[in-house]
Structure formats: C-alpha cells, structure tokens
A and B are shown apart, each in its own frame.
Chain A
Amino acid sequence: MKDHLQEGSQPAPSSPHVSVIQEIQRRQRIVFWCLIVCIVAMGVLLAAERHRERKRIEALADQMPIDAPTAVEETVTLELASDADGTLRPETRQIALPQATNARVKALLDHLLAYYALPDSAHALPPGPAVAEVFLLPLPVVGYVASPLPPGAHSGTDSGADPASVRTTAPVSSSDPNALQPRQPGGELAVIDLLSSWVNQHPSGVEVESLTLRSILGTLHANLPQIEQVRFLVDGQTRETLAGHADLLRTYPTAHDNAMQTGGNDPGPAKE
C-alpha cells in the first residue's frame, strides 16, 4: 500500500499495473465531477423554485397591498395635533393612496402616525406600525349576536348537539340611539384595529391621548367624509383606554360638530 501511494504520487514509468489504477481513478474522477455538476444544477433549480414559491405565497398573504400598483399621488389633508396648544391644524400633503377604501384609510393613518414619530414632532408618538387593519361597515349597522337559547326552548333536545353549540341569535341594540345610524346615505363605520405594540407605548394623559384620536378622526373626515363613525380595537379585541385615559369603547363620530370642543352648545367658561 505504501508502495502504491509512492508510485501514484509520482509520474511512474509505464508499468501495466499502475495504468490500471490510473484508469480506475479516471473513471472515478468522471463520476465525481458528474455528481458535482448534478448537485450544482439541482441547487440552482431548488433556489429558483424556492424563490418562485416564496413570491407566490407573499402574494397570497398580502391581499391588501398598501400601495396598489396603480396608486397615484393625490392631495390629502392631515389634521396635525400639537401638544403645545392642544389644537389640530390642517396640512396638505401629496401621497400615493391605493384604490380600495379600507386600504386608503390604512395608508392615510400610516402616513399620519408615521409623521408623529419624527424627531421634531409637535405631538410625539411611538414609531413603528400602528394600524393592523381597517374594516368598513355600511351604516346603519344591523347585527345579531349569538345568545344561549331561552330556558323554555331547551325542552326539545332533538338534535342532541352539545349544549354550547345550541344557540340562537338575538338582535343587538345600540346603547346610544344616535350611534350606528348614518347622517347621510352611504355613511360608513370604520373599525380601526390598532397594534398593541404601538398602543402600549402611547404616552399617557387626557390631552395627549385625546389629541391622537381627534387627529385620526379629523384626518378621516377631511379625506373620506363618508366615514361618519369610528370604533377602535387593539389586536382585534376591545380595550378600555388608549393609555389609561381616552375611551376606546366608544363609537366616535368623525364630524366635528358633535364630537369636539367647538363651542356651540358649550356654556362652560372659555379657555383662559
């Protein structure tokens, strides 16, 4: 064995024994390189497949693109809050908005809230995504809620189904007679689902929280007047307050006249 190695490593004189070994080595080398080529080719094929598949899945997952390919820049009005004097002032911007209304609402709010995260913001809010999703419901909202069967109705347990699934629907009435009714035909309720990652970092205070909501409501009203009422969710669930103060259980009207301190029916003393 030692001798073979010695001979193999040096160009040996043409002994038939050695040439057979070389022949074997040559064949093995061919097979080896063929396999390498195969591996590389399959690797490339796999990478291409993976890439295509990933694209397909991304397209599936993202059915509401923030910026539709057809989005064009348009003029929008942002109602920007200022902590210094507790007011909102309108400011126009050119931004690209998608076509679908709920995607428009989300894009508008993303733009508005990203503005507040800038370093010199007059109403400093945490950076990062704030709005998970926006749902729009035509007003008046009519709904039914699942409710357990009344006790009398239990007598006929004909179906034999498990009791938890035996439910009827009961109409849900609004707690506010004015809520959930349109002011104009075609009025809509926007349900804005906020992200807890953003809400949990929102500064706490009556005014700072109220300004955030007023800025959102005012901006929606200025650009999408058909949105008449807004409700908020956090991670898809109801939450009592934004950061300890502002009521998130309420249905908010977007129009100023019955929402915010525009005087009118306010007999209280004015700001000092």
Chain B
Amino acid sequence: MNALRNSILAALLTACLLTLAAPDAHAQMGAASRGPATQANGASAAWTPQPSVSISSVNASAPAPILINRRVVVLDPAHGGSDSGAQISDTTVEKDVTLALAFRLRAMLTARGFTVVMTRDSDAMASPTPGAGELTLDDRAGVANHAHAAACLLLHASGSGVGVHLYRSELDAAPGESAVPPWLTAQAAWIPQSSLLEGELANALTRSGIPLVTGRASVRPMDSLTCPALVVELAPADEDVDSMNRTDYQQQVARAIAGALLVWADQVQAPLRLSSAAPAMNHPGAGSSGAGVQP
C-alpha cells in the first residue's frame, strides 16, 4: 500500500518538475512563430533581377538594315507538354487544339509557297540547352526571332466567345529598333507592323464570315518577338465548345489566315534601325525585371 502511494507521489513530483521545466517551450514556440516574419523578409530580399534565359535572337552586330524573309511565317502552337493551357471541355485541352490548327495552317501556307517555322510540331519540344527540359517561352521567342519572318502567329484556343480573337501587344510603339533590342520589350519597334497585320487578318476573317474580336493583351512571349506578331485565339464556332475541333471550321479559319498572309507578305516593312548612339542596354535579358534604371 505504501509502495503504491509512494509511486503516485513520485509521479506527481515528476509532473511538477516537468511543469517547471516547460517554459523552455516558450523559446521553441517563439522561434517557430518568428519563422514567417523571416520568410517575409526573405521574400522581399528575393526580389532581385533574375537573368532570364536570353536567346541571342537579336542581332547584336553593327547597325544593318533589318532583314525580313517575306516568305517565312512562324507558327507557335502555344502550350504543350506539361503546360496544357486552358481546359476547354472535358475532352479538349488547349495545347491539342493549337497544334491541330498549326498543322492545318502549315499545310495551307506551304501550298501557297511559304516556308513555315513551327516552334513545336509534337506535344513537347526539348530545349536546345541539354538537360533544360521542355522548350521555354523564351526559347520559342528565340526560334521565332531567328527566322526573321514576315509574321509570327501565336496560336491559342479558348472556350469562351465564338470565332477568332486577335490580340496584339500592349506595348507603346517605339520609333525604331535599337541595335540591341531589350528582350522584354523587343516587340515595341514592330507594333505598327503588327497592327497592320492585325487589320489584314481581321479583314480576311470577316470576309469569311468568322466572328471576330480584336484587342490588346500582354501574352508571353509576344513582347519579345522581333517580327509582326499577333495572338490568334481560336474560339468555338457556335455555342458548343467542342465545335472548335471540327475540321471544316478549322480549315475555314486557316484558309482565311493563309489568304491574308499571302497579301501581307508583299506589304510587310521592317522598322527603322535606330543608330547605335542609343544607350546600350547592358543586360537585355535582365532588363526590366531588374531593380532599376541608370539615372
């Protein structure tokens, strides 16, 4: 009996001692709750320019007239691989629609004598950098810029609205292209041409009876393109979203676009090359993702 009592007392004393020792938990709790604050500071410190992968697509050499291959068109079937784009319906994802439309357009453009450069012709394209995985958006812009094409069309698809939506860059037009165009705003010099191309495509689509919406949007990597560039977004033909997969509908859209590009190829003008007196950008890749501008 006594042994039992003693053991109970011993247990209680231990509990007492533990209770006394417990304030150590304060320190631990403190450290834990200070964690987020430190993280927040880390977040602000992490805002440093990240040199993004800068494909040397822009010719950094001495000022020379800007080259345009009038019979070359770049098609960028947006998304692909792990990036599915928008989920358009239970059975349709954007990346498949854009690739299907690109194949149709390529066939029609090739038939009209164009050379077509595609940024992907399968679900996912490997990056030229070994081990870098899939082609990034910057890689795609690099591929497009190397082609010196008469038009660069970024093909997208959307389940909302009907017909075709055309978007051009939201950048302000620049008077000309500097010797080393800044990566994130290279499209600025091409805005007037992109705008004219938009008009050409809009006329052709309207003539074909395809409902059309035009607008401006900042869609990566359009602002880095050094060619007349547009986002061409395919929307359903009617209320049924899966109608965008219909062959006849896609053919109709592709035919209108190919016809417009044929006219466009004779009109396209390169922007002026600005003299290299303009201040050289010391890091076009990091450019406006950086922390500032030289005063």
Contact = CB atoms under 8 A, between A and B. Distances in A.
Interface of A: 4-5, 8, 28, 31-32, 35-36, 38-39, 42-43, 46, 49-50, 53-54, 57-58, 60-61, 63, 83, 86, 132-133, 135, 140-145, 170-176, 178-181, 191, 193, 203-208, 210, 213, 233, 235-238, 240-241, 244-252, 258-261, 265-272
Given A35-B12, A63-B37, A237 B199 contact: no
B288 A46 contact: no
Contacts of A43: 19
A245 B48 CA distance: 23
Interface of B: 1, 5, 8-9, 12-13, 15-16, 19-20, 22-23, 25-26, 29-30, 33-34, 36-37, 40, 42-44, 46-50, 52, 78-79, 83, 85-87, 94, 136-137, 156, 158-161, 165-168, 170-173, 182-185, 188, 195-196, 198-199, 202-203, 206, 211-223, 231, 233, 279, 281-284, 286-295
Contacts of A269: 198-199, 202-203, 206, 212, 214
Contact of A171 (B48, B282, B287): B282
Contacts of A61: 33-34, 36-37
A174 B287 contact: yes
A197 to B, nearest CB: 14
Contacts of A176: 171, 182, 184-185, 188, 287-288
A269 B204 CA distance: 12
Contact of A174 (B25, B136, B159, B288): B288
B57 to A, nearest CB: 14
Contacts of A53: 26, 29-30
Contacts, number: 246
24 contacts: A35-B16, A36-B12, A39-B15, A53-B29, A61-B37, A86-B213, A143-B292, A145-B49, A172-B293, A173-B281, A173-B282, A175-B182, A175-B183, A175-B287, A179-B185, A180-B292, A240-B137, A244-B78, A244-B79, A246-B217, A247-B218, A249-B288, A266-B216, A272-B206
A234 B137 CA distance: 18
Contacts of A204: 85-87, 94
A107 B165 CA distance: 34
B12 to A, nearest CB: 5
A86 B235 CA distance: 14
B184 A203 contact: no
A259 B85 contact: no
A53 B31 CA distance: 12
A54 B31 CA distance: 11
B26 A39 contact: no
Contacts of A63: 37
A135 B220 CA distance: 24
B90 to A, nearest CB: 16
Contacts of B220: 240-241, 245-249
A212 to B, nearest CB: 12
Given A141-B291, A268-B199, 5 more contacts: A171-B294, A172-B282, A233-B43, A244-B78, A269-B199
Contact of B293 (A180, A240, A270): A180
A207 B87 contact: no
B186 to A, nearest CB: 9
B293 A235 contact: no
B185 A175 contact: yes
Nearest to B181: A175
Contacts of A142: 292-295
Nearest to B37: A61
B293 A179 contact: yes
Contacts of B160: 83, 205, 207-208
Contact of A46 (B19, B286, B289): B19
Contacts of B233: 206
A272 B184 CA distance: 31
Contacts of A58: 33
Nearest to B39: A236
